[in-house]
């Protein structure tokens, strides 16, 4: 479903040049659950932003379902964001003026969805366990609850791929594990998930874990096969 | 849920900020409304003052000139028609004048509206000196010639009395209390007018009926002066109506005064509009500034909206909606503030002016405020769309 071909991202110029990503190649199959791990500054977030078209690579190609998306113009990228890809952020990024339900509805506001779709928002909010708090604003919700709203918002557009950037980064372990159980459930239901984290326990929920260091993939582990392939990038 | 509802909820949450952004619009609109309201009051006052400068319609006998010819020999001109207007036509003149004014002002008042002052001019002799004696309706005449001041004695109160113009009194050596013969009728001089600088100084005024009787011109007047009491009185229409309906007379609108009124107001309006335009431009920059701040404050929100599928044009739309909300609030508050300012400043600028609020300006204020807010938002909104979604989160 997702193919990355020698993706590079370079910030700055001349002396201050920083290579955030250095010719990364990766194939992600439809419906897989991938964790991206690495120390701070290893390029995890940049990697995720480029996959989702929030940022553009300085080199390489990003193919989504056979369509090259890294060189799309803004208007076409909007279509990608509305259909195939959805985000879950560490900071939740909910609009503070809207209730939980309204935040879930927000993507539908922009793609001009009808009433039936709006009915689904309630359903999804129930599914993430927040049906009773639909009328609360983000400020009245705990971190875990806000993240559930954010996940519900990601689901409302029926994405094939959910990109999550440290989704449990702001939570205690118990809450984090509950959120992860939700992700596992979504994975079972067929959503592809790519999740950035620095927490090995959280990464353990994923089927595949990719390790990034200095902008390169240094290791890739597959849970089911329990197989480790070192330095894929150098092959 | 619609985009405008999202914007509205956000505006409600940030109400203090939005109100602050609205300040520029409020000040700009308030100035324009204030200026216009004061100008409006001043205009009314100028009209009132100008109205004191006499009649704005004159009805005179219709006289046509005819070339007299016998074969190819010209025999000169002959005036055809009456030299006088019959007094019987006065009610008809009043009916037309009042009727048109009622139509123009949309009122149903039954009473007399226009001032209608008949004059009879008779060239006669007092103390063996040639003088023009004018028969007047004392009450109506005073309403038209508001500048008349009786220097000595009293104004005309009854029949067989005379009021002398200042020069006439000096030349004829008239004093209050003198009894003079007027074509065989004795009249008492009751008063002498102060100098007016007009023809009135050379004339002697007596009640119409007295002069008609003395000169044997019963039921006749030379001309009728009409003054409509309002700004918007349809002088031309009244004149047309009289010309069409009443044979033998010619009604002429006194255009000179109307033209000078218009010229004066035109200059005042232009000056005021220039001033208002400058204020609005200053207000515009204020709004651009606050909207830029608003964009910077909401980089994160814009990023969120982009990340969940908002297109650039939808971000612009969201800002335009916010501008319209700012415009509506700014327009209403600006109208109220501007009107209050006018009530305070009006009497200071045009002495003794009563300022009246103009409901029509609320529409104008709303329109102006919305236009200013939207125009001021275009550039900040464009800037907002140029923000990279990834950068908007990274900066936090």
Of A46, A96, A111, the CB nearest to B309: A111
d(CA B100, CA B317): 51
* Contact status of B299 with chain A (Cβ, < 8 Å): no
Residue A120 shares a structural domain with residue A79 = no
Q: How many CA atoms lie within 13 A of A195 on its CB side?
A: 34
Contact residues, chain B, for A91 at CB < 8 Å = 393, 396
**pLDDT of A227 above 50:** no
Give the bridge partners for B73, in sequence order. B70
B172 Cβ contact partners less than 8 Å away, ≥ 6 residues apart: B126, B127, B129, B131, B164, B180, B204
- In this structure, are A14 and A77 located in the same domain? yes
Count of CB atoms situated within 10 Å of the CB of B262: 11
A-chain residues near B13 (CB < 8 A): 96-97
Distance CA B233, CA B113 (A): 11
* B322 & B388 share domain: yes
Chain A contact present for B304, CB below 8 A? yes
Residues of B in contact with A98 (CB under 8 A): 6, 9-10
Distance, in Å, from the CA atom of A165 to the CA atom of A180, rounded to the nearest integer, reads: 13
Residues of B in contact with A97 (CB under 8 A): 6, 9-10, 12-14
Q: What is the DSSP letter of B263?
A: H
* Residue at which a domain ends, from A124, A157, A190: A157
* Total count of domains within chain A: 2
Q: In this complex, do A87 and B14 lie within 8 Å of one another by their Cβ atoms?
A: no
Q: What is the per-residue pLDDT for A233? A: 44
Quick one: B29 and B80 in the same domain? Answer: no
Report the C-alpha gap between B12 and A228 in whole angstroms: 54
Smallest Cβ distance to B308: which of A46, A96, A106?
A: A106
CB of A92 within 8 Å of a chain B CB? The answer is no
In the predicted structure, residue A234 carries a pLDDT above the cut 70: no
Whether residues B75 and B163 share a domain: the answer is no
Q: What pLDDT is stored for residue A137 in this prediction?
A: 94
Residue A90 placed within a domain: no
Same domain, B323 and B376: yes
Statement to judge: residues A134 and A26 lie in one domain: no
Domain count, chain B: 3
The domain that holds A25 is classified in CATH as 3.40.50.300
Residues B127 and B179 in one domain: yes
In a domain, A89, yes or no: no
Specify the pTM: 0.67
Closest CA to B13 of A167, A15, A96: A96
Asked if A172 and A226 sit in the same domain, the reply is yes
Final residue of a domain: which of A118, A141, A157? Answer: A157
Ramachandran area for residue A190 (φ above 0: left; ψ -120 to 50: alpha; else beta) = left
> Can you give the pLDDT at residue B70?
66
**Does one domain contain both B110 and B243?**
yes
Residues A60 and A163 occupy one common structural domain: yes
* A169 in the same domain as A106: no
Residues of B in contact with A110 (CB under 8 A): 3, 305, 308-311, 314
Residue partners of A109: CB distance under 8 A and separation at least 6: B1, B2, B3, B6
Range of the structural domain that residue B214 is part of:
119-222
Query: Looking at A140, A157, A174, which one is the last position of a domain?
Result: A157
Q: Which chain B residue shows the shortest CA-CA distance from A155?
A: B308
Contacts of A157 in chain B (CB under 8 A): 308-309
**Cβ–Cβ of A102/B6 closer than 8 Å?**
yes
**Are residue B199 and residue B314 in the same domain, yes or no?**
no
Give yes or no: residues B203 and B347 share one domain: no
**Are A184 and A150 in the same domain?**
no
Rounded Cα–Cα distance for residues B304 and B294 (Å): 16
Chain B contact probe: residue of A11, A87, A109, A138 with most B CBs at under 10 A? A109
> In this structure, are A204 and A147 located in the same domain?
no
Looking at the structure, do residues A153 and A204 belong to the same domain, yes or no? no
Residue-level pLDDT, tens digit, chain B, 396 residues: 888 989 999 889 888 888 888 888 888 888 888 888 887 787 777 666 665 556 678 888 887 666 666 666 666 666 666 688 888 888 888 888 888 888 877 777 677 778 888 999 988 888 888 888 999 999 888 888 878 889 889 998 888 899 999 999 998 888 999 898 888 888 999 999 998 888 888 999 999 999 999 888 888 898 888 877 555 567 778 888 888 888 888 888 775 555 566 677 667 777 877 887 888 888 788 888 888 888 888 888 888 898 888 888 999 999 999 999 999 999 999 999 999 998 888 888 777 677 888 888 999 999 999 998 999 888 888 888 888 777 777 644
Q: Are residues B173 and B124 in the same domain?
A: yes
Here the contacts of B236-240 (C-beta below 8 Å, separation 24 or greater) are B237/B100, B237/B104, B238/B57, B238/B96, B238/B97, B238/B100, B238/B101, B238/B114, B239/B57
**A119 in reach of chain B (CB within 8 A):** no
Range of the domain at A78: 2-84+159-234
Residue A205 CA, chain-centre distance (Å), reads 15
Residues B284 and B385 grouped into a single domain: yes
Q: How many CA atoms, within 13 angstroms, populate the side-chain half-sphere of residue A46?
A: 25
Whole-angstrom distance, CA of residue A102 vs CA of residue B227: 68
Segment A209-221 shows an average pLDDT of: 89
Q: Are residues A174 and A218 in the same domain?
A: yes
For residue B333, give Cα distances in angstroms to A75, B10, B21, B330, B361.
39, 21, 13, 5, 12
Residue A215 near residue A6, CB atoms below 8 Å:
no
**Tokens, residue A155:** 């689901």
Convert the pLDDT of each residue in A65-100 to its tens digit: 888 888 888 888 888 888 788 989 888 899 999 999
Chain B residues near residue A89 by CB distance under 8 angstroms: 307, 393
Tell me what ipTM this predicted complex has.
0.86
pLDDT at B283: 79
Q: Give dist(CA A87, CA A150) in Å, integer.
A: 8
Q: What is the pLDDT of residues A166-181, one digit of tens each?
A: 898 888 889 999 899 9
CB A10 within 8 A of CB A19: yes
Q: Does B15 touch chain A (CB under 8 A)?
A: no
Coil vs helix vs strand at B376: helix
Residues B110 and B123 in one domain: no
Say yes or no: B273 and B331 in one domain: yes
Q: Are B342 and B355 in contact (CB under 8 A)?
A: yes
The secondary structure element, H or E, covering residue A5 is strand A2-11
């Amino acid at each position: 479903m997702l193919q990355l071909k020698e993706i590079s991202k370079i910030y700055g110029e001349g002396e201050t040049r920083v290579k955030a990503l250095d010719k990364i190649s990766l194939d992600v199959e439809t419906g897989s659950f991938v964790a991206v791990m690495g120390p701070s500054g290893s390029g995890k977030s940049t990697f995720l932003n480029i996959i989702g078209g929030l940022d553009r690579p300085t080199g390489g190609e990003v193919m989504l379902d056979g369509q090259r998306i890294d060189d799309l113009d803004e208007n076409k990228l909007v279509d990608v964001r509305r259909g195939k890809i959805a985000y879950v952020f560490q900071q939740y990024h909910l609009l503070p003026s809207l209730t939980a339900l309204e935040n879930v509805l927000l993507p539908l506001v922009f793609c001009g969805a009808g009433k039936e779709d709006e009915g689904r928002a309630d359903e999804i909010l129930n599914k993430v366990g927040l049906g009773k708090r639909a009328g609360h604003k983000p400020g009245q919700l705990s971190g875990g609850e806000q993240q559930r709203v954010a996940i519900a918002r990601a689901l409302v557009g029926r994405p094939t791929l959910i990109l999550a950037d440290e989704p449990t980064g702001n939570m205690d372990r118990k809450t984090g594990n509950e959120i992860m159980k939700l992700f596992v459930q979504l994975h079972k239901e067929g959503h592809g998930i790519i999740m950035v984290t620095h927490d090995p326990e959280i990464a353990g929920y994923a089927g595949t874990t990719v390790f990034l260091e200095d902008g390169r993939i240094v290791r890739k582990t597959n849970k089911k096969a329990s197989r480790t392939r070192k330095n894929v990038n150098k092959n | 849920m619609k985009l405008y509802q999202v914007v509205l909820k956000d505006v409600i949450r940030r109400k203090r900020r939005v109100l602050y952004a609205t300040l520029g619009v409020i000040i700009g609109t308030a100035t324009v409304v204030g200026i216009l309201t004061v100008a409006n009051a001043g205009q009314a006052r100028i009209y009132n003052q100008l109205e004191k400068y006499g009649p704005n319609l004159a009805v005179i006998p219709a006289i046509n000139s005819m070339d007299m010819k016998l074969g190819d020999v010209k025999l000169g001109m002959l005036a055809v028609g009456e030299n006088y207007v019959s007094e019987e036509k006065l009610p008809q003149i009043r009916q037309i004048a009042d009727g048109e004014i009622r139509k123009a002002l949309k009122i149903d008042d039954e009473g007399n509206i226009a001032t209608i002052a008949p004059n009879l001019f008779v060239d006669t002799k007092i103390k063996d000196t040639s003088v023009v004696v004018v028969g007047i309706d004392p009450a109506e005449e005073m309403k038209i010639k508001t500048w008349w001041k009786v220097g000595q004695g009293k104004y005309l109160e009854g029949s067989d009395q005379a009021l002398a113009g200042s020069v006439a009194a000096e030349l004829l050596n008239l004093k209050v209390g003198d009894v003079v013969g007027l074509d065989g009728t004795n009249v008492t001089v009751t008063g002498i007018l102060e100098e007016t600088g007009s023809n009135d100084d050379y004339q002697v005024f007596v009640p119409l009926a007295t002069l008609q009787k003395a000169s044997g011109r019963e039921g006749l007047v030379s001309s009728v002066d009409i003054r409509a009491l309002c700004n918007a009185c349809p002088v031309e229409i009244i004149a047309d109506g009289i010309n069409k309906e009443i044979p033998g007379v010619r009604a002429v609108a006194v255009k000179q005064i109307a033209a000078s009124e218009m010229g004066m107001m035109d200059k005042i309006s232009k000056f005021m509009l220039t001033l208002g335009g400058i204020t609005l431009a200053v207000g515009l920059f204020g709004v651009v500034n606050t909207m830029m701040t608003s964009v910077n404050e909401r980089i994160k929100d814009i990023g969120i909206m982009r990340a969940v599928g908002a297109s650039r044009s939808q971000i612009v739309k969201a800002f335009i909606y916010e501008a319209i909300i700012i415009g509506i609030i700014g327009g209403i508050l600006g109208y109220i503030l501007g009107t209050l300012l006018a009530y305070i400043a009006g009497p200071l600028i045009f002495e003794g002016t009563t300022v009246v609020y103009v409901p029509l300006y609320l529409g104008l204020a709303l329109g102006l405020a919305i236009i200013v807010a939207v125009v001021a938002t275009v550039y900040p909104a464009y800037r907002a769309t140029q923000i990279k979604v990834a950068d908007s989160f990274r900066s936090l």
